[in-house]
Structure 1
Amino acid sequence: MAAPAFYLTLRDALLDLIQRDQLPRPGCLPAERWLAEHFQTTRVTLRQALTQLESEGVIYRQHRKGWFVAPKKLVYEPVQDVSFTRYVTAQGRVPQTEVLGFVQLAAEERIAHQLELQPGDPVYRLIRRRFIDQRLVLVERVWMNARYLPQLEQQRFDQSLWRVFEEVYGIQLIDKQITLTPTALQHEEAAALCVTPGSPGLYITRRSATAQGEVIEYDEEYWLQDVMTVRITTQHA
């Protein structure tokens, strides 16, 4: 039987280093040059091993910052009607939101179709980045029907939008259509998430309406691929 490729042996050695908590800085791998010298290998072989661990969700890379040990994955249940802040907090993690921009503009055809409007109708666009335990995990663009949300610009956007809809406007979003698609993060999303273009990600869209069928929100989210585990819970009638 042929011996395993050396990069897989190196992968096991790196994993052992992580699991035994033998890193010089907790949660952070040493520089690639140090690792290559420590294991007496080339940078090419080392990167094969690191990429293998990244694909397994053991470590992750931050652009220009290095390699880090991945925290426990977030459990995401798309069928649950719970905001990001609430389900992250419920799992003992610390959520954080950074607002990148908010503007009212005329709906382009693609967004008008999602919100069941005519092209040119007024919509709001909110761009935010989300963090879990201070790690940047997703960037989102939220498009909202301005007709139902007058003076929305006066609200805070570092909190749950669903709470704003309910408490300020008396709007409950009951009907949600969600899609999840593996993707390669392109330049704009990759830059916002501080990763290199082409990095694997997860593209999630959410279209939310009231019980009366009024579409209020269309959300596009770009997640880092190693952040979450998707879980679906069904109930028999």
Structure 2
Amino acid sequence: MEDRVNGEGSAPLYLRVRDRLANQIQDGLLPPNTRLPSERILAEEHGTTRVTTRLALAQLEAEGRIYRSNRRGWFVSPPRLVYNPTRDYSFSDNVSAQGRVPVTETLRVTPTEVDAWLATMTGLAIGDPIVRLRRRRQIDGRPVMVENIYLNPKRLPGIDTFDFNRSLWKLLREHYSVELERKQIEMFPTALVDPQAEALGVTAGTAGLYVTRCCRDAQDCFVELDEEFWLHDTLSIQVSVG
């Protein structure tokens, strides 16, 4: 099939297909979580090739307007979750407050030892004990984030015995009377690779956002290091200043 477009300017064809789909999303003709037709059907509807259609879909994915689920196809992205990484609040409470449905899954809890990377990040000594918690977060049934949390068992004795399908922040406050006073936060875009990509049900190389947050208590004792691997279309980072 030859690509054909009439009367839509001189932009590359895949961008014109992208514009049509983006307008349908913006106008509500394709609501959030709607499954898009197959690439073959979209190519027929827009009078173009599957290669061009694939380029248009990839552009929309890069913009966070649509997402691809392994073996299920393309879907319109839901509204982004407003997220402030400087605040101590429950993921579930934040998601619920925005009218969404949260789920937390504990994947693994492993007592281990501090390696060179953790020593650099936490200030602990190599070989010190540390507890690694791995969790997956869902919003409205869609996995959106995997996190590795490293907890200091000297500051939090018995921490590996708790149920982590709940707010860790509330657990620290209610059981250990810990207030997280100092936080060092880093964020940058990344490509999700396995095991994170597999846990989120996406193809390795999918765009993501990497967030680390290292927290200490009022006595400057290391409490937790949180590594978060988010799908890039799920967050709106908002931080209040002043």
Fold-level similarity (TM above 0.5): yes
2:45 match: 38
The residue identity in structure 1 corresponding to 2:50 is: R
In structure 2, which of residues 214, 220, 230 is the aligned counterpart of residue 223 of structure 1? 230
Q: Aligned partners of 1:78 and 1:219: how far apart in 2?
A: 11
In structure 2, which of residues 190, 199, 202 is the aligned counterpart of residue 192 of structure 1? 199
| 1:107-156 deviation digits (Å, cap 9, x = unpaired) | 21211332322111111000011111111111000001111222223211
Count of aligned positions: 235
1:183 match: 190
Runs of 4+ in structure 1 displaced over 3 angstroms? 16-26
Q: Aligned partners of 1:234 and 1:16: how far apart in 2?
A: 34
Q: Aligned partners of 1:80 and 1:51: how far apart in 2?
A: 33
Q: TM-score, normalised by structure 2?
A: 0.89
Partner SS for 2:43? helix
1:123 match: 130
In structure 2, which of residues 156, 161, 165 is the aligned counterpart of residue 149 of structure 1? 156
Q: Aligned partners of 2:33 and 2:235: how far apart in 1?
A: 22
| Percent identity over paired residues | 46
Say whether the 8 Å CA contact 1:144–1:217 is kept in structure 2.
Answer: yes
Once the two structures are TM-superposed, the CA of residue 224 in structure 1 deviates from its matched residue by 0.7
Q: Aligned partners of 1:123 and 1:46: how far apart in 2?
A: 48
1:7 match: 14
Partner SS for 1:181? strand
1:84 match: 91
Say whether the 8 Å CA contact 1:107–1:123 is kept in structure 2.
Answer: yes
Partner SS for 1:124? strand
Q: Aligned partners of 1:153 and 1:224: how far apart in 2?
A: 27
Q: Does 1:98 align with 2:97?
A: no
The residue identity in structure 2 corresponding to 1:98 is: E
Q: Aligned partners of 1:25 and 1:103: how far apart in 2?
A: 37
The residue identity in structure 1 corresponding to 2:102 is: P
Say whether the 8 Å CA contact 2:33–2:75 is kept in structure 1.
Answer: no
2:167 match: 160
